[in-house]
């Protein structure tokens, strides 16, 4: 992704011939966020506690922002990213709701 030619029309609105350093840094941070999301989702799937508890809400908010950003992209290929962003956001929304229901039942 950091320099692959196939990604040029699928990221950053498809506006670059070569990704500038700041875009590459953003995508490195984005990759780190995805790895962290996988770790958190794995903890949920194995029934382990998710700490900090507010992180799931942050993932939902970031997911909604990602959906909106991809939906308004100038790149038609980048607009397709709405689908995986929606799936990931929905998964974390379900976790958020299930944690809310567990808290209400326990209280």
Number of domains in the chain: 1
Best CA proximity match to 43, nearest among 30, 58, 53: 53
Contacts of 41-47 with C-beta under 8 Å, sequence gap 24+, read 41/91, 41/92, 41/95, 44/95
Show the domain range for 16. 5-106
- Would you write out the chain's pLDDT as a tens digit for each of its 107 residues? 555 666 776 677 777 778 888 888 888 998 999 999 999 999 999 999 888 989 999 999 999 999 999 899 888 888 888 999 999 999 999 999 987 665 554 44
Task: Please give the span between the terminal C-alpha atoms of the chain, in angstroms, as a whole number.
Answer: 46
Is residue 66 within 8 A of residue 5, CB to CB? The reply is: no
For 38-57, give one letter per residue: b (16+ CB within 10 A) or e.
eebbeebeeeeebeeeeebb
Rounded Cα gap, residues 98 and 104, in angstroms? 10
């Amino acid at each position: 992704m950091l320099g692959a030619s196939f990604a040029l029309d699928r990221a950053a609105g498809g506006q670059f011939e070569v990704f500038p350093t700041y875009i590459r840094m953003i995508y490195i941070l984005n990759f780190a966020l995805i790895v962290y999301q996988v770790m958190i989702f794995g903890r949920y799937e194995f029934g382990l506690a998710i700490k900090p508890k507010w992180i799931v809400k942050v993932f939902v908010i970031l997911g909604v922002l990602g959906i909106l950003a991809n939906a308004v992209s100038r790149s038609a290929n980048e607009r397709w990213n709405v689908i995986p962003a929606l799936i990931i956001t929905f998964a974390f929304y379900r976790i958020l709701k299930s944690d809310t229901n567990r808290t209400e039942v326990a209280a």
